[in-house]
Structure 1
Amino acid sequence: MDQAEQLRRLVNQQTRPRGTARVITITSGKGGVGKSSTSLNLAIALSRLGNRVLILDADFGLANIEVMLGIRPKYNLADLMFQGKELKDIITQGPQNVGFISGGSGIAELTRLTKEQIMYLIEKMDYLDDLADIIIVDTGAGISDLVMEFVSVSSEVLLVTTPEPTSITDAYAVLKALYRRENFNKEETVIKLISNRIYTEEEGKEIYNKLNSVGKKFLDIEMEYLGGIPQDRAVSQAIMQQKPIIMAFPNSVAAKAINTLAERIHQGDIKIPNETRGIKRIFASLIRRGMST
């Protein structure tokens, strides 16, 4: 029995009637487009709508979420995997009842686990699914193998871009890289675009129409438009204060737009198939993929 088959059996053995979180992976083609800020603010807005929300900071190189909050986690995912820490130890409490987990070096180690470590991690991810209604995965920017692994095994992806030509080009590069991955199944993935730092709603829709058109024509990938976030000086002011904008400046145009996006996400849950939900399935797919390469 090869390792991939062992993993499939382990996952099936650990499956039981527990809660299964809705996992939303947020990514971008380049850095500096507001991806992590969007992740954090959407998490808080979704929490206010009555959801139990966790953020997994999967950018192990930068750890933007903790920087934006001014909170340094005591432990991260690597401590869960290798130091025997429990989930409660690695979940840091953020504002508005939003917890977050720092991936740390643990993200990069996913494909180098022993059988016992796999069993332990899958079991813990099963419980993590039970702790949250929504888990937001904030990936690194760009199209590195690690980022694309997360995106390709996710059932719900939010792609953040801005009106800058380079940002739009890099967003298309994400779609192109996704199309080329063997494990990407477009029938089981919903990709939604967020146009950030726009001056008008028409500008945001134009960005979506352009990307969606070339995506359908050349990649056979069709996106949905979640909406736009206006250019707002209050965003940079909130970042300087290390506070989410929807808390620091709740009446700003950007904060109101984020709340609207959160409401659309909250109401759109029915489009995600139950069998493709859950953070446990995400991690199992990542590990299985690493074993087969």
Structure 2
Amino acid sequence: MSFSIAVASGKGGVGKTSVAINVALSFAKMGYRTCLLDTDFGVANAHILLGIDPKQNISDMLQNQASLLDLCTPAPFGLRFISGGSGMVDVLNLDNSSRFQIVRSTEMLAQSTDVLIVDVPAGASDATLNFVGAADRPLIILVGEPTSFMDAYSLIKAAFLEADIKHFYLAVNMANSEAQAHDHFSRFRDITSRFLDVQLTYVGHIPYSNALRQSVIERKPIMTRPDPSRETIAFQKISKSLLSGPLNRTNGIRYLGAPSTQETVS
């Protein structure tokens, strides 16, 4: 049974897109049929970090010039990538109808996809909540800064109150150690549980790393490197953790069609 993950963050600059790309590549490398959809429209840059040049983007589908399947661009390990377009005014301010059209269109991917990763806009805008609310497992990227805590809390609160999302998965980025990452998560969970009736699940951390920064500069995701490293092991751990756990089964439009009824993918 296929499932979807929306990768989100309360603020920009926390490495959300890099995490989305490397988690997607990790799933693909493990043999899962994986698709990465970039919905950070207008400023979409996942294709740059992937080092690929898509010929079409989501705007072509919205203008009835292509189907979502037509937009799939091959990436490493058999990953399929769908571009949101970059620097395009017409996709910067999509209305609810267009956003729901995009979510509905992913149903055509269901038969050929095990895992759909959706890179959503940072923050808690209507667009973010639409794309997070349609996912089975929202993955929130957190860093150990007060502003990241505050903005991630605002995002989770909005998703809970407006989209009835109760289960969230958290990964801590740019951590100096596993112990530090656990500390950041524990403090954030304590704050959140005081005010919101939501469940937060820790799925791992990504180390603060010069190698990761260099991979961004080189446009070569670290998961494509042949030799194992602490960074690739971290992304593999996160991906494996996301294979199980509660699914959000809210009513409404869902990625890949009808809500899933299974807890795991094998």
The two structures have a TM-score, normalised by structure 2, of 0.85
> Does residue 272 of the first structure (1) align with residue 247 of the second (2)?
yes
> Does residue 244 of the first structure (1) align with residue 221 of the second (2)?
yes
Does the 8 Å contact 1:195/1:204 carry over to 2? yes
1:186-205 mapped onto 2 (5 Å cutoff): 186=166, 190-205=167-182
> For the structure 1 residues 67 and 126, does the alpha-carbon distance in structure 2 shift closer, same or farther, using more than 3 Å as the test?
same
Does the 8 Å contact 2:137/2:248 carry over to 1? no
> Does residue 133 of the first structure (1) align with residue 114 of the second (2)?
yes
Does the 8 Å contact 1:33/1:160 carry over to 2? yes
Give the one of 3, 8, 13 matched to 1:32.
13
Q: Deviations over 1:66-104 (max 9, x none)?
A: 111232211112212323313342111111111111234
What is the RMSD of the two structures over their aligned residues, measured on CA atoms?
2.5
> Does residue 172 of the first structure (1) align with residue 153 of the second (2)?
yes
Report how far residue 224 of structure 1 moved.
0.7
1:236 and 1:164 map into 2 onto residues whose CA distance is 19
1:212 alignment partner in structure 2? 189
Does the 8 Å contact 1:249/1:255 carry over to 2? no
Give 4+ residue runs of structure 1 displaced > 6 Å after superposition. Answer: 273-277
The two structures have a TM-score, normalised by structure 1, of 0.78
- Structure 1: runs of 5+ lacking an equivalent: 1-19, 283-293
Give the one of 39, 59, 65 matched to 1:78.
59
Report how far residue 200 of structure 1 moved.
1.4
Report how far residue 275 of structure 1 moved.
8.7
- Aligned pair count? 252
Does the 8 Å contact 2:103/2:131 carry over to 1? no
2:232 alignment partner in structure 1? 255
Report how far residue 204 of structure 1 moved.
0.9
> Does residue 41 of the first structure (1) align with residue 15 of the second (2)?
no
Q: Aligned with 2:129: secondary structure? A: helix
Q: Aligned with 1:192: secondary structure? A: strand
1:77-96 mapped onto 2 (5 Å cutoff): 77-96=58-77
1:165 and 1:46 map into 2 onto residues whose CA distance is 31
- Structure 2: runs of 5+ lacking an equivalent: 260-266
Report how far residue 178 of structure 1 moved.
2.0
Report how far residue 236 of structure 1 moved.
0.6
Does the 8 Å contact 1:232/1:253 carry over to 2? no
Report how far residue 109 of structure 1 moved.
3.6
Q: Aligned with 1:176: secondary structure? A: helix
Report how far residue 121 of structure 1 moved.
8.2
More helix per residue:
1
1:164 and 1:275 map into 2 onto residues whose CA distance is 31
Q: Which has the larger radius of gyration?
A: 1
